[in-house]
A = this chain, B = another copy of it.
Amino acid sequence: MSITRKPRIAIDMDEVLADTIDKFIELYKQRHSHEVILADMHGMEIGQALPPHLSSTVRPYVNERGFFRDIKVMPGSQEVVKALMERYDVYIASAAMEFKYSLEDKQAWLEEHFPFISWTNIIFCGHKILDVDIMIDDRIKNFVTFNGRKLLYTSPHNVLIDGFERVNNWQDVADKLLNR
């Protein structure tokens, strides 16, 4: 870069800042009295962890207005993101465009839980073609054309994937990026 600037980080939302798996588990418990066991999801997407008669319900649920509005915040993420902002330009980057009605939910969710993130630093996209130095994401597809430092945030669906620098939780992010 020709202009001196703080290093930039792009942080994903689902399964990184937001505990989307927990939302699915709660939803199937409430609406279908079906218990998804987190420990059984090793290497699986939520649709694969459900019994066959429920697997096609995932997409309609995700496309409902409100689905992304009440997801729990990943433990420690607020404090660590706040601390990262002192040393980095922190962007929140979500592939929200895939789910038409998720945009307003995600905006409101960020406003509630991460009010210290300015609108200037929020990105809703499809492909993450971002000019940043570090990406924290649970989907390796988002790393494909990215040449910076990639931190794969552990999630059930990615635990069998090798060869990436990993963070298992927000304490790991702090340890790696804040040298504490």
**A61 at interface by CB-CB < 8 Å:** no
Does A124 belong to the interface (CB within 8 Å)? yes
Cα–Cα distance between A2 and B148 once the two chains are bound (Å): 12
* Whole-angstrom CA separation of A130 from B146 in the bound complex: 11
Task: With CB as the reference atom, state the residue of chain B lying closest to A146.
Answer: B131
Give the segment of A17-25, A95-103, A155-163 that binds chain B: A95-103
Find out whether the CB atom of A2 lies under 8 angstroms from the CB atom of B147: yes
**B107 pairs with A145, CB closer than 8 A:** no
Given the known inter-chain contacts A107-B103, A124-B103, A125-B125, please indicate yes or no for A119 contacting B147, CB distance below 8 A: no
Which B residues touch A37, using CB under 8 A? none
Question: Which residue on B lies nearest to A106, using beta carbons?
Answer: B103
Report yes or no: B126 in contact with A125, Cβ–Cβ below 8 A.
Answer: no
CB 8 Å contact bits of A82-122 with B (1 = contact, 0 = none): 00000000010000011010011001000000000011111
User: Quick one: closest B residue to A125, CB to CB?
Assistant: B123
Q: Confirm or deny: A34 has a beta carbon within 8 angstroms of a beta carbon on chain B.
A: no
Q: How many copies, total?
A: 2
* Residues in B neighbouring A100, C-beta threshold 8 A: 107
Output the least CB separation between A89 and chain B (Å).
Answer: 8
Known contacts A103-B107, A145-B5, A147-B1: A91-B129 contact under CB 8 Å: yes
Is A69 located at the chain interface by the 8 A CB criterion?
Answer: no
Contact of A72 with B by CB under 8 A: no
Give the distance in Å from the alpha carbon of A91 to the alpha carbon of B97 in the complex: 13
Q: Give the complex CA separation of A98 and B121 in angstroms.
A: 10
A interface residue numbers (CB < 8 A to B): 1-3, 5, 8, 91, 97-98, 100, 103-104, 107, 118-127, 129-132, 144-147
Nearest 8 Cβ contacts at the A-B interface? A120-B126, A123-B125, A97-B119, A103-B103, A131-B131, A124-B124, A129-B131, A120-B127
